[in-house]
Chain A
Amino acid sequence: MSNLQFALLVTVPVLCFLVIVVAYPLGYALWVSFHEVSFFGGYSTEWVGLDNYVAVLEDGDFWRSALLSVRFTVESVIFTMLIGLGLALILRDLRGRWVWLRAILILPWAVSPYGTGILFAFLGRGQSGIGTAFISLFGSEETINLIAANIVVEYLALGNAWNLAPLLAFFLLASMMTTPSRLYDLAAIDQINRFEVFLHVTLPPLRFTFFVFTCIITVLSLKQFDYIFTETQGGPGNASSVLTYQLYKISFVNLELGLGAAMSFYLLFLILAVTLGLYFFWGRREARNA
């Protein structure tokens, strides 16, 4: 058997499976997005051309939730990078009997987005939440509700970052281990300051990891749904109804399947555009330097 034959033998079943579980629903969604589906008086569909796509663009709620999605995503990326880097630096410097903490710190990543949502919903509450607990340490009687309209997106992004950062931390840690320790001696001979050491010695080998994870976390955050669904249900009001939540509402609450399908294609375009943009403006440079 040639290599090609063997490759076909092992991949053809997988390809068939992928076609069934990905291509079929995608094709069906595309078909639906050009129709109006109604359930009253029996299931019926009507060809409406691009009407659904135009209607989405004319819908103010769509633009509002798209903006929320972008805000949630950008903040998730920033928080994850900062927390992941902080964790990795701490893990790197663990010595002796504290090394086992490295294993413990992967745990937040092991929690499902669904579970993370429930956990952070509980932690964010005004009466019993960590915000209130925190300021009461300083003798305040006030209650701080973290799931409030003006900060709920930031709070969601923080929980999302809590969930994802450990994975990033482990990849950063692995990259840090490849830095020759002699480079730190070189920096000591040059007596460059701590920030310069970070910039010139610690950071360079991490940049590719940062790029890859920016892509991964951007995609994960843009399509994040179950975490937001269990934590805020898009609320309070519609303060956290990001695109995915809006999609869910239109398709499965309002049962406007055609409109929802059209909207989901805009989300797909957004994800593709952002990742391609990241690659063109950042990834190509990192690949060259790597």
Chain B
Amino acid sequence: MARIELINLEKVFGEQHAVRALDLEIADGELLVLLGPSGCGKSTTMNMIAGLLPPTSGSIVFGDREVTDESPYQRNVAMVFQSSLLYPHLTARQNIQMSLKRSGLSKSDVSQRVTEAATTVDVAHLLDKMPGQLSGGERQRVATAKAIVRQPACFLLDEPLAALDAALRMTLRSELVNLQKRLNTTMVFVTHDQVEAMTMGDRIGVMRNGGLEQIGTPNDIYNNPESLFVAGFVGSPPMNFFAGDIETVDGQPTFVNAFARFRLADAYGQLAPRSGVTLTVRPQFMRIVSEAGEGTVPLTVYAIEHLGNESVLIADAPDGSKVRAVVAAGFEAKIGQALHASFDPSNAGLFDTKTERRVAQ
């Protein structure tokens, strides 16, 4: 078991900066999720932690030991790859055994450890099957057994659930979290699915263009995004954005654009007028009203998505941007119908449009 520290880690492929100036500390026993869009450098970071890819510069520390130049095996990492890669012509049992090939354990110890690991993830009855004969979920469990059998310093999982159907992903992600907590082993989990990140992580590191955009608990990331990118990437349905300026109206800082004005929350009491800001509101905080008034946005209904317990109203703002609002399940509206929406200013976030950073209160 180990605390993992990445210090000023960089990886350059030719012209391309795949990972830049990455500083990251992962506590012992923590489950950290690396979240980010395709190509942002998640796998590259993971490969460097694993020891599969030498960093261009920077260092990696496991516990108190610098491991930057060590092989994956010396680091004692276990990795599960995308679509739960296994040696295709070896049985599940032989695949799990391969993890112990260099362990020097006796034959009987190996077979006992394999059985234990397989029992832990409930695949003991599948040990003599070939990977091709296993379902996606079974293959994922066998890959997990292969990872835990070595009792590694940390687990590294690179989108192991990406190729599975939604229901199975839900089952397997809770299984993985449960297992990680039981074994209390440090785990780094890579995904581009924000729901997976929110539900699994002790903390989430959001990556963008090779850098760490924000790191924090799922709560932090969801409620206090530090940048427009994080605000837009996390949350379902996605965040609403309104572009405009800050003016002082009646001595109060107020958000103003062509079709709406919102009094800012008291926390922003001292804010000076400025141009080029973006106001963010989660769809859950949008309220639909029929009359225009103080602090409302005029909307034209575009679509309604029924989720059973609630619905999502999608509407066009006058500037053509889409606005989403979570509404009660019975909500009815015709496409093209005019509506108005408002929200409590304390639930809105304020960002500088140019720097994409949160505006200090």
Contacts and interface: CB of A to CB of B under 8 A. Distances in A.
A186 B160 CA distance: 14
Interface string B30-67: 00000000000000000100111000000000000000
A186 B77 contact: no
B85 A190 contact: no
Interface string B324-358: 00000000000000000000000000000000000
A148 interface: no
Contacts of B102: 190-192
A204 B88 contact: yes
Contact of B89 (A186, A189, A204): A204
Contacts of B85: 180, 182-183, 186
A182 B79 CA distance: 11
A189 B79 CA distance: 7
Nearest to A185: B52
A47 B88 CA distance: 60
Contact of A200 (B77, B79, B90): B90
Contact of B72 (A183, A188, A196, A200): A188
B82 interface: yes
A139 B88 CA distance: 52
A133 interface: no
Contacts of A201: 87
A189 B99 CA distance: 8
A190 B73 contact: yes
B52 A183 contact: no
Contacts, number: 52
Given A182-B81, A182-B82, A196-B101, A189 B87 contact: no
A21 B79 CA distance: 60
Given A190-B99, A192-B101, A185 B81 contact: yes
Interface in A188-234: 188-192, 196, 200-201, 204
A188 B89 contact: no
A150 B98 CA distance: 46
Interface in B70-106: 71-73, 77-79, 81-82, 85-90, 98-99, 101-102
Contacts of A289: 89
A186 B73 contact: no
A200 B87 contact: yes
A179 to B, nearest CB: 9
A289 B81 CA distance: 23
B52 A188 contact: yes
A189 B78 CA distance: 7
A196 B102 CA distance: 12
A189 B101 contact: no
A127 to B, nearest CB: 51
B98 A192 contact: yes
Contacts of B89: 200, 204, 289
A186 B73 CA distance: 11
B81 A186 contact: yes
B90 A188 contact: no
Nearest to A201: B87
A60 to B, nearest CB: 47
B133 to A, nearest CB: 12
Contacts of A185: 47, 50, 52, 79, 81
A186 B79 CA distance: 8
A201 B86 CA distance: 10
B95 to A, nearest CB: 9
A74 to B, nearest CB: 26
Nearest to A186: B85
A191 B72 contact: yes
Interface in A161-188: 180, 182-183, 185-186, 188
Contacts of A180: 85
Contacts of B82: 182
A66 B50 CA distance: 58
Contacts of B81: 182, 185-186
Nearest to A184: B52
Interface in A85-113: none
A144 B345 CA distance: 96
A183 B84 CA distance: 11
B276 to A, nearest CB: 44
A192 B47 CA distance: 18
Nearest to B53: A185
Contact of A191 (B50, B73, B79): B73
Contacts of B51: 188
B98 A188 contact: no
Contacts of B78: 189
A180 B84 CA distance: 12
A65 B320 CA distance: 87
A183 B87 contact: yes
B89 to A, nearest CB: 4
A180 B81 CA distance: 11
* B51, B71, B72 pick with most chain A CB within 10 angstroms: B72
Interface of A: 180, 182-183, 185-186, 188-192, 196, 200-201, 204, 289
Interface of B: 47, 50-52, 71-73, 77-79, 81-82, 85-90, 98-99, 101-102
Given A186-B81, A188-B51, A191-B72, 8 more contacts: A182-B82, A185-B81, A186-B86, A188-B52, A188-B72, A189-B72, A189-B73, A196-B101
12 contacts: A183-B85, A185-B47, A185-B50, A186-B81, A188-B51, A189-B99, A190-B99, A191-B73, A192-B98, A192-B101, A192-B102, A196-B101
- In the A-B complex, list the 6 residue pairs whose CB atoms are closest, starting with the nearest: A191-B73, A204-B89, A189-B72, A190-B98, A182-B81, A185-B52
